[in-house]
């Protein structure tokens, strides 16, 4: 299963600080272990929210663009990875091995087919049947 | 036992087992014994951690326990040897006390050695697969048995026999070098790809367990690609598996039937796997990219890059199949080339390729040859000949659903 790993922002990350050389080296070593275990599908850091945007939708679909930075530092995301692991427990154990300090990491299972309930699955299947019934240009 | 601790142990085991077994195998020189010691350590963790809590460094804890058991085992063996000595027989020199051997935290090379040893060519490919899933992927014997639809006792016996075979043959715990490397590497890649295909082509059994096999295979492949990064084919195999697996969601219809590539809803393809797979293929091509997995991955990539089925670059696919035929000399690959040629240059051109296969003994009873010919003849409007080919194909297939499908095509030709 895939798990999205969300590294939360800190005051330092929001200030655009990258951390010390030691912190970098420790993180590199950790990432290397993850890659050597065949776990990593994607991983990237994000710029601080001062360089980000938000697009808000009202009930009618009108949009408002809001420039960063945003408040509630602890709720913001500073980086993400997508891991392929056997279980959420494995992902948790991996995170515990990371050299991060004084922050929080959030783990979220990526939705897959098994997560949809049967009625929704049936709905998708029906929509697909309709689409497949339409004549195609070539088999 | 608290379930939270049990879950933590499961997670720790997935992460640590390969490193643990590999580190132990280097010390004791026998992967079978190393695996037994690691299992002993796991049992100790299951007994103690619910009381004591999960240690701060669970990997080091497991290693310490396993080493202690190893020392006991070797002492017992040494005692036995002293008794043997009294009988006037020769003592072997395997008496290095384990406590004096420093544990090397950089065990990644050991994990690579473990993969090469578990996939030693003296073992059947089934035995290699079982040992790799057990020792490198950290699956339980029950899980492996369930995935391969055999009894747990059968799988346990297979694993025991494989471990014994390695011990008896005194297989050294090492990564082969020089000329031996290519052969040994293909033995590893073959086992990993078999795990993948076992999951990918599953037609029976518990579907979830089979889909897990694809994930295990991709993970093993990525490990191998990271640890043997200089070998182009390791990256190529990862790319091939990831691009194929990207279609898993789209290739089964609502009734569990297989949906062929041209009819799949491409919006359901896994874009992340495609992106990772294509990037991995680039890496394979940077350092080679002429091996058989690389060519197959390039073919898979042609499909992955086409937004719609009709956008598929069949000219390139036909040419890649030509490369694959030149490399493998396989008539089945040539048959695939015929299909690609028919898509690129029309059914007559494809049919001409299959003409060259009519006298090949290996395909005499292979139902897909008349099946493909029937399809091409039908497209050319040669319905009498098409019907005869479909009927012949129906006679040859052992799959009932396929026979019905072929007979239906015969009667509509």
Domain housing B16: 4-96
Looking at chain B, which residue has its C-alpha nearest residue A136?
A: B263
Choose one of B185, B212, B239: the last residue of a domain: B212
ipTM reported for the complex surpasses 0.90: no
CA distances from A52 to A18, A70, A74 (A): 17, 9, 16
Residues B70 and B141 grouped into a single domain: no
Contact B254 A129 (CB under 8 A): yes
- Check residue A53 and give its pLDDT: 97
Mutation for testing the A interface, residue in B3, B217, B222 having most A CBs under 10 Å: B222
Rounded to whole angstroms, the Cα distance separating A98 from A5 reads: 12
Q: Do B310 and A91 touch (CB under 8 A)?
A: no
The pLDDT score that the predictor gives to residue A129 is 65
DSSP A89: H
The answer to whether B250 faces chain A, any CB pair under 8 Å, is no
User: CB-CB: which of B11, B218, B249 is closest to A92?
Assistant: B11
Q: Inform me whether the C-beta atom of residue B307 falls under 8 Å from chain A C-beta atoms.
A: no
Please report, in tens digits, the pLDDT of each residue of chain B (413 residues total). 458 899 999 999 999 999 999 999 998 889 999 999 999 999 999 999 999 999 999 999 999 999 999 888 888 877 777 766 665 444 344 444 444 444 444 567 899 999 999 999 999 999 999 999 999 999 999 999 988 888 999 999 999 999 999 999 999 998 998 889 988 999 999 999 999 998 887 644 445 557 789 999 999 999 999 999 999 999 999 999 999 999 988 887 777 777 889 999 999 999 999 999 999 999 999 999 999 999 999 999 999 999 999 999 999 999 999 999 999 999 999 999 999 999 999 999 999 999 999 999 999 999 999 999 999 999 999 999 999 999 999 999 887 778 888 999 999 88
Task: Give the per-residue pLDDT at A125.
Answer: 63
Mean pLDDT taken over chain A = 87
pLDDT in the model for residue A138: 38
A137 lies in some domain: no
**Torsion on CA atoms B68, B72, B78, B83, rounded to nearest 10:** 170
CA distance B274 to B283: 14
B138: left (phi over 0), alpha (psi -120 to 50) or beta: left
Mark whether B190 and B162 lie in a shared domain: yes
B233 and B208 in a common domain = no
- Sign of torsion over alpha carbons B373, B377, B378, B380: positive
Residue B78 lies in a domain: yes
The distance of Cα B48 from the centroid of its chain, to the nearest Å, equals: 35
A126 in a structural domain = no
Instruction: Please give, one letter per residue, the 3-state secondary structure of chain B.
Output: CCHHHHHHHHHHHHHHHHHHHHHHHHHHCCHHHHHHHHHHHHHHHHHHHHHHCCCCCHHHHHHHHHHHHHHHHHHHHHHHHHHHHHCCCCCCCCCCCHHHCCCCCCCHHHHHHHHHHHCCCCCCHHHHHHHHHHHCCCCCHHHHHHHCCCCHHHHHHHHHHHHHHHHHCCCCCCCCCCHHHHHHHHHHHHHHHHHHHHHHCCCCCCHHHHHHHHHHHHHHHHHHHHHCCCCHHHHHHHHHHHHHHCCHHHCECCCCCECCHHHCCHHHCCHHHHHHHHHHHHHHHHCCCCCHHHHHHHHHHHHHHCCCHHHCCHHHHHHHHHHHHHHHCCHHHHHHHHHHHHHHHCHHHHHHHHHCCCCCHHHCCCCHHHHHHHHHHHHCCCHHHHHHHHHHHHHHCCCHHHHHHHHHHHHHC
pLDDT at site B103: 45
pTM: 0.87
A21 to each of A8, A27, A28, A45, B10, how far by Cα in Å?
A: 20, 10, 10, 16, 34
Q: What pLDDT is recorded for position A122?
A: 62
Verify whether the Cβ–Cβ distance A38 to B7 is below 8 Å.
Answer: no
Instruction: Say if A83 is an interface residue toward chain B (CB within 8 Å).
Output: no
pLDDT for A123: 65
Q: Are both B39 and B115 inside the same structural domain?
A: no
Task: Count the domains in chain B.
Answer: 3
Cα atoms in the Cβ-side hemisphere of radius 13 Å centred on B192:
32
**B208 and B129 together in one domain:** yes
B149 and B239 in a common domain: no
| Assigned domain for A95 exists | yes
Last residue of a domain, one of B212, B243, B276: B212
**Helical (H) or strand (E) element with A66:** strand A63-67
Range of the domain at A75: 2-111
Position B380 in a domain: no
Interface check for B229 against chain A (CB to CB < 8 A): the answer is no
A25 in a domain, yes or no?
A: yes
Would an 8 Å CB–CB cutoff place B221 in contact with chain A? yes
Interchain contact, A38 vs B223, CB within 8 Å? yes
Locate the chain B residue with the closest alpha carbon to A114: B208
Residue B28 lies in a domain: yes
**Measured between CA atoms, how close is A90 to chain B, in angstroms?**
4
A34 domain residue, yes or no: yes
Q: CA of B402, closest CA in chain A: separation in Å?
A: 19
- So what's the pLDDT on residue B84? 61
The verdict on residue B391 lying in a domain is no
Same domain assignment for residues B184 and B238 = no
Residue B126 sits in the same domain as residue B151: yes
CB contact under 8 A, B11 and A41: no
Contact B337, B318 (CB under 8 A): yes
Which of B237, B264, B299 is at the close of a domain? B299
Residues B147 and B203 in one domain: yes
pLDDT at B87: 55
Put simply, whether A131 touches B (Cβ < 8 Å) is yes
- Compute the nearest-CA separation of A71 from chain B (Å): 31
A38: CATH: 3.30.70.1060
Q: What is the pLDDT of residue A88?
A: 95
Contacts of A92 in chain B (CB under 8 A): 8, 11
Residues on chain A touching B212 (C-beta within 8 angstroms): 86
**Does residue B223 lie in a domain region?**
no
Q: Which residues of B touch A85 (CB under 8 A)?
A: 14
| pLDDT score of B200 | 84
In chain B, whose CA is at the least distance from the CA of A126?
B254
The domain total for chain A is: 1
Question: Looking at the domain assignment, is residue B128 inside a domain?
Answer: yes
Q: From the first residue on, what is the mean pLDDT of each consecutive set of 10 residues in chain A (139 residues)?
A: 95 90 92 93 94 96 96 91 95 95 94 65 64 51
Distance to chain B for A105, nearest Cα, Å:
17
In a domain, B258, yes or no: yes
Output the pLDDT for position A119: 55
Q: Is residue A80 situated within a structural domain?
A: yes
Q: Which residues of A touch B227 (CB under 8 A)?
A: 36
B40 located within any domain: yes
> Which residue in B381, B409, B379 sits closest to B397, CA to CA?
B409
B206 and B170 belong to one structural domain: yes
Q: Tell me if A120 is assigned to some domain.
A: no
Chain B contact present for A111, CB below 8 A: no
Examine the domain organization and report whether B57 and B135 are in the same domain.
no
């Amino acid at each position: 299963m895939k798990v999205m790993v969300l590294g939360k922002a800190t005051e330092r990350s929001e200030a655009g600080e990258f951390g010390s050389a030691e912190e970098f080296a420790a993180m590199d070593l950790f990432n290397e272990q993850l890659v050597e275990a065949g776990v990593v599908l994607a991983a990237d850091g994000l710029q601080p929210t001062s360089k980000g945007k938000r697009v808000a939708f009202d009930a009618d679909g009108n949009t408002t663009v809001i420039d960063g930075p945003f408040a509630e530092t602890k709720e913001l995301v500073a980086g993400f990875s997508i891991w392929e692991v056997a279980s959420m427990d494995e992902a948790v154990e991996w995170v515990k091995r990371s050299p991060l300090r004084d922050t929080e990491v959030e783990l979220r299972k990526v939705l897959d087919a098994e997560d949809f309930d049967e009625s929704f699955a049936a709905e998708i299947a029906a929509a697909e049947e309709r689409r497949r019934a339409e004549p195609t240009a070539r088999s | 036992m608290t379930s939270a601790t049990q879950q933590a142990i499961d997670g720790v085991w997935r992460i640590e087992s390969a490193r643990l077994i590999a580190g132990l195998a280097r010390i004791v020189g026998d992967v079978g014994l190393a695996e037994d010691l690691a299992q002993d350590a796991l049992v100790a963790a299951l007994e103690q951690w619910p009381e004591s809590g999960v240690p701060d460094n669970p990997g080091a804890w497991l290693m310490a326990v396993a080493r202690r058991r190893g020392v006991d085992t070797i002492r017992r063996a040494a005692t036995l040897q002293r008794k043997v000595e009294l009988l006037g027989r020769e003592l072997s020199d395997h008496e290095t006390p384990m406590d004096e051997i420093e544990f090397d935290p950089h065990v990644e090379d050991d994990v690579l050695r473990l993969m090469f040893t578990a996939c030693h060519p003296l073992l059947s490919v089934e035995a290699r697969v079982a040992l790799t899933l057990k020792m490198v992927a950290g699956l339980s014997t029950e899980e492996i048995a369930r995935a391969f639809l055999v009894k747990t006792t059968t799988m346990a016996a297979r694993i025991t026999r494989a471990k014994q075979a390695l011990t008896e043959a005194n297989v050294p715990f090492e990564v082969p070098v020089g000329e031996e490397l290519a052969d040994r590497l293909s033995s590893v890649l073959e086992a990993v790809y078999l795990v993948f295909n076992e999951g990918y082509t599953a037609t029976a059994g518990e579907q979830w367990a089979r889909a897990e096999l694809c994930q295990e295979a991709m993970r093993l492949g990525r490990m191998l690609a990271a640890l043997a990064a200089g070998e182009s084919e390791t990256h190529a195999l990862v790319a091939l598996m990831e691009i194929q697996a990207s279609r898993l969601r789209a290739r089964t219809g609502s009734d569990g039937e297989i949906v062929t590539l041209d009819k799949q809803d491409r919006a359901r393809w896994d874009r992340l796997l495609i992106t990772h797979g294509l990037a991995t293929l680039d890496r394979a091509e940077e350092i080679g990219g002429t091996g058989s997995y690389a060519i197959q991955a390039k073919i898979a990539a042609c499909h992955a890059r086409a937004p719609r089925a009709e956008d598929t670059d069949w000219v390139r696919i036909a040419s890649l199949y030509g490369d694959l035929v030149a490399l493998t000399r396989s008539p089945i690959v040539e048959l695939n080339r015929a299909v690609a040629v028919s898509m690129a240059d029309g059914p007559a051109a494809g049919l001409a390729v299959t003409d060259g296969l009519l006298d090949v003994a290996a395909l005499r009873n292979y139902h897909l040859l008349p099946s493909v010919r029937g399809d091409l003849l039908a497209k050319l409007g040669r319905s009498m000949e098409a019907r005869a080919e479909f009927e012949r194909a129906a006679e040859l297939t052992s799959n009932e659903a396929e026979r019905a499908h072929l007979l239906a095509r015969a009667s509509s030709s």
